[in-house]
A and B are shown apart, each in its own frame.
Chain A
Amino acid sequence: MIRKFFFPTITLVTALIFIVRLISLQLINSSYKSLSDDNAVIENEVFPERGYIYDRNNKLLVSNQPVYDLIAIPENITAFDTLQLAKIINISKSELQDKLSTARKFSMKLPYVIVNQISKERNAIIQEKIWKFTGFYLQKKSLREYPNPIASNILGYVSEVNRNDMKKDDYYSLGEPTGRQGIERYYEDLLRGVKGKKFFQKDRFNRIIGSYEDGIYDIPSKGAQNLILTLDLELQEYGEKLLRNKRGGIVAIEPETGEVLSLVSAPSYDPNLLVGRMRSKNYRNLTLDSISKPLFDRGLQAQYAPGSPFKTLNALIALQEGVINSNTTYRCNHGHFYARGMFMDCHCKYGTYNNLLSGIFRSCNTYFANIYRKIIDESGDGVAEGVNIWKKHLLSFGLGNYLGYDLPVGKKGFIPDASYYDYWYKKGGWKSATIVSNAIGQGEILTTPIQMANFTATIANRGFYIKPHFLKSVSNGTFKTINEKKITTIDSIHFETVIDGMYQVVERGTARVARIPGIEVCGKTGTVENFVKIEGVKTQLTDHSMFIAFAPKDNPKIALAVLVENGYWGARWAAPIASLLIEKYLTGEVKRKLLENRMLNGNLLAEYEKPYSGKPFLINE
């Protein structure tokens, strides 16, 4: 009996097991379903063309250029003239043969890039002959193009996405273009748009054999936006020319709107270097230049002691705190003793009497040392509170913190407070005289050129600023103009005296070189002591040349800060450069050709060599 039923039972059980297995594979385990999609359906991404970038006058800063990859599918290649092909694509015959054999090893059926990023010009030559070479074709790609080789520090650059980027943002897949620095990075979302998808059916060799389900699952791409920046192309270009063969930064702002008109960092580099085949090699060279640091934005990232321009802020704080008025006068004896045996130099003649106005235009150290000590000693209950009140005022000018502009790099700068000095000198171990260097912008204070330009704009505005920014508008109109006024803690009535002082600086003070016929320029020079460590020894270098200015005096249109590293005194480099920029911006042309030529041809490279020469050297010569 058992023998009769044995086999049918086995058959039934087997069929049952198979059916259960089918249920688990087809009805329960859904992981195999999506695997199939991965396997047989290829998803091609469709990229919108990256947005263009224009300056404030709609002049083109960044566009795209087509380049071409020469691609071969080994399977399709028929006998051809190797020498001729090598010639038109400009590589050697053996190199071409090597590439073809690599392609064959890679796959007979898949496209392989033989030469990438062929220029438009060469493409034209190849395009004419390509029909002779079956199995080869040209595929178009898009790269960034910069009609003017300027503003690389602002614009940033584009490169391919790597694995790190993919971890941070799952939008990207490997090798897609993405903005790396500057505007390209900050406004990446607007510039790139949103990629779409097309689905294709493929076979096991990954060859596309048609569109998948007639494209019903395809997702169209969303348009990329063109950006209009606040930059003035001509001003930017002129600024970069003026800083050629020098190191430093220029930041120019339209005070009324906070729009950055130019941001120059020198030395800089041609943005076209970071495009195309040579990109990674050039980038490496730029990063390896640790001496002139072309990738370091001196306008945004370099922190300097502000020097004498800072006196204007101390004057405003003293007025606001009521510790002086515009008539308060101090005597200067070619400097003064601020403590027993502690003498601070000044270039005023022995026995000069200065009130606030002349204190500013003569840049009298004695005067500002005295009023600074008054601020610290008298504005609050004790020096600690005095310093904190002083700091509070400075913070309202945007110092000591990020400004919040729309570029991805920056530095906070530094404004000391009571706890900082308590830490260094112990509580109660310091007096106003201890920290008197802050009076003349030396001391512990650090600012970046954009912060200086911003406080200059604040003075020009008589007491408020608008966050400096680089984006003016977006082609789809989504960008909202920034117009939130950041009002300082200084009442606007106090500004007029200081502005008068700054006007006199240019008219008859330290910066007469900056005078422009027909334009009322207000400015303040600075000569900033600075030190570096050379083989562990703190060494003083030639002073930085510094100048802040705005013009015209009433209804200002431009405020700027110029810093030339190791340029010696402020009126030597920074003031003329600032003045030329103002003239260029306000009148459209520069009439002072002599001054212009001196600035354009000026060369500080010998000065920068000094610390690296290994020999003793003189400074401030």
Chain B
Amino acid sequence: MAATSSLQNYTLVITGAPYSSQAPQTALLFARAAIAAGHTLDRVFLYGDGVHLASSLSAPPSDETHWANEWARFLKGNSVPGVACIASALRRGLVNESEKKRYELPASNLLEPFIIAGLGEWVEGTMASSRVIYFHAGG
């Protein structure tokens, strides 16, 4: 019964880290359900501890879900941009090649298709989408 006009364009903000909070899983289930119902996702913004979701170096036990890879697959499959906040990322040891060079760090670890950018990406998301949903660690 959902009318076309009720379809939303969402920006999702994830501030909880994987393996210490449920936030990335809940956000992924929400994202899948939203797409399945015909809604669109403008972008996914990782902020605070949420940036850990974009690390290419997490290696959970093989019988556990690899949330970073699951998210990466979802973003690629649905052509949704995934953006990690640069200030949050640099503080927490998440860097791409250019930041690695800039700060002369021994490695980079940003998982594709995530990119690193400023909070302006979140501001744009709040302006471009009809709903902004936050997934916090809680507790």
A interacts with B: no
Interface on B for A, CB 8 Å cutoff?
A: none
